[in-house]
């Protein structure tokens, strides 16, 4: 599974430009799905199973886009200014490397660091090593993601775009491990989450699920001096989301997930996230409303080029989802 994770996190795919990562995912799914389609916003939807008497139509959503940058201006010396795609923190940019969709690489620079001053995005520029505007291979509208190789620290894994490629890896692994299901399961590899859950919104409308789950990363509360107190910690198990600032998970589904984890002896933690959102909201708010929940992976340094997760949490999230999808879901 680690080689799958490496492949997924190292492929660029800022929101709206998910065509490369979608191909990687399609190949990884192989013949484990009954049917694969791509909707108008580019989300890849892999269907598995037929709905039995006790089954439901279930949507599982993992977003495949990542935060990135888009070129807005190129100056006479070949330096490119940019705007953000999704939540970019300027603090994590300076000295970073970027990879454009066509393979062009560059570094992020600024004119000098002033002590104690946090740079703004407008202070930063991309330097691809050009000596003039004419020599610069970039054009306005080109997009890039961060470039950072996957780092396997054993139990802990580090990469850019663990948010949310780790969930894509989990969903693919669930497809591979799921032997039988009473449900009609739609695995949605959604686009444009980082710019407002856009892919999951149209995918949820199209799938029209009876129940849905997002799979995403969440903040971890286990770093030395976190100012916002939070219980989630790396290695304490997949987190069953109770709420974030985008939606409140259906309490019946939360109960069901907790009971399922307990019954199967899978470690879990409860997640109460004060700020942040996931595809769970898009599922819940589609059509006339859908019971929705979310399985989260605690992650350190989210939206930096070095996001860290715990491999046991990943493994246990796969087990929990396989278990949930293998049995009838009871909401009462
Ligand atoms: Co994110
Ligand atoms: Zn995410």
Sequential DSSP letters for 7-48: HHHHS--BTT--HHHHHHHHHHHTTSSSEEEE-TT--EEEEE
Question: How distant, in Å, are the alpha carbons of 107, 166, 169, 314 from that of 2?
Answer: 27, 10, 9, 10
Q: Do 2-66+160-326 and 68-146 come out as alike in CATH topology?
A: no
What is the mean predicted confidence (pLDDT) over 253-261? Answer: 97
Sorted by where each begins, the domain ranges of the chain are 2-66+160-326, 68-146
Please provide residue 164's backbone torsions phi and psi, each rounded to the nearest 5 degrees: -135, 30
Res 115 pLDDT > 80? no
Give tens-digit pLDDT for 260-286: 999 999 999 999 999 999 999 999 999
Given 18, 193, 194, 307, which residue is catalytic? 193
For residue 193, the CA-to-ligand 2 centroid distance in Å is 7
* pLDDT (tens digit per residue) in 27-72: 999 999 999 999 999 999 999 999 999 999 999 999 999 999 999 9
Average pLDDT, the chain: 96
Q: At the topology level of CATH, where does 68-146 sit? A: Elongation Factor Tu (Ef-tu); domain 3 (2.40.30)
Nearest to 69 by CA among 47, 85, 87: 85
Residue 186: phi and psi, rounded to 5, are: -110, 110
Percent above pLDDT 70 for the chain? 100
Q: Which residue has the tokens 């002896």?
A: 265
193 among known catalytic residues: yes
In angstroms, the CA 203 to CA 88 distance is 25
Residue 116's pLDDT is what?
A: 76
pLDDT computed for residue 29 by the predictor: 98
Residue 20 pLDDT level (bands cut at 50, 70, 90) = very high
- What is the third-level CATH fold of 2-66+160-326? Aminopeptidase (3.40.630)
Q: Relative to the alpha carbon of 63, which ligand is closest?
A: 2
Distance from Cα 59 to the centre of ligand 1, integer Å: 20
């Amino acid at each position: 599974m680690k080689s799958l994770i490496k492949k997924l996190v190292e492929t660029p795919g800022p929101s709206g430009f998910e065509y490369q990562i979608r191909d990687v995912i399609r190949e990884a799914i192989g013949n484990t799905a009954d049917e694969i389609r791509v909707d108008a916003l580019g989300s890849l939807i892999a269907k598995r199973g037929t709905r039995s008497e006790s089954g439901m139509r279930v949507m599982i959503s993992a977003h495949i886009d990542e935060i990135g940058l888009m070129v807005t201006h190129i100056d006479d010396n070949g330096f490119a200014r940019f705007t953000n795609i999704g939540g970019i923190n300027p603090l994590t940019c300076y000295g970073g490397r970027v990879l454009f969709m066509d393979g062009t690489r560059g570094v992020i620079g600024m004119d000098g660091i002033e002590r104690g001053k946090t740079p703004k995005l407008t202070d930063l520029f991309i330097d691809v090593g050009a000596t003039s505007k004419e020599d610069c291979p970039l054009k306005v509208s080109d997009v890039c993601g961060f470039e950072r190789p996957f780092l396997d620290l054993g139990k802990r894994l580090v990469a850019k775009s663990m948010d949310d490629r780790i969930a894509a890896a989990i969903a693919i692994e669930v497809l591979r491990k799921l032997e039988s299901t009473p449900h009609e399961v739609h695995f949605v590899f959604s686009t444009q989450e980082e710019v407002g859950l856009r892919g999951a919104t149209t995918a949820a409308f199209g799938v029209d699920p009876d129940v849905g789950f997002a799979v995403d990363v969440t903040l971890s509360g286990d770093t030395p001096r976190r100012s916002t107190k939070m219980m989630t910690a790396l290695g304490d198990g997949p987190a069953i989301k109770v709420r974030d600032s985008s939606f409140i998970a259906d309490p019946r589904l939360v109960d069901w997930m907790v009971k399922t984890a307990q019954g199967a002896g899978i470690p879990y933690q409860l997640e109460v996230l004060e700020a942040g959102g996931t595809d769970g909201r898009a599922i819940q708010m589609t059509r006339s409303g859908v019971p929705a929940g979310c399985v989260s992976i605690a992650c350190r340094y989210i939206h930096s080029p070095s996001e860290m997760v715990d491999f046991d949490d990943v493994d246990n999230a796969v087990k929990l989802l396989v278990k949930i999808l293998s049995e009838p879901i009871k909401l009462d």
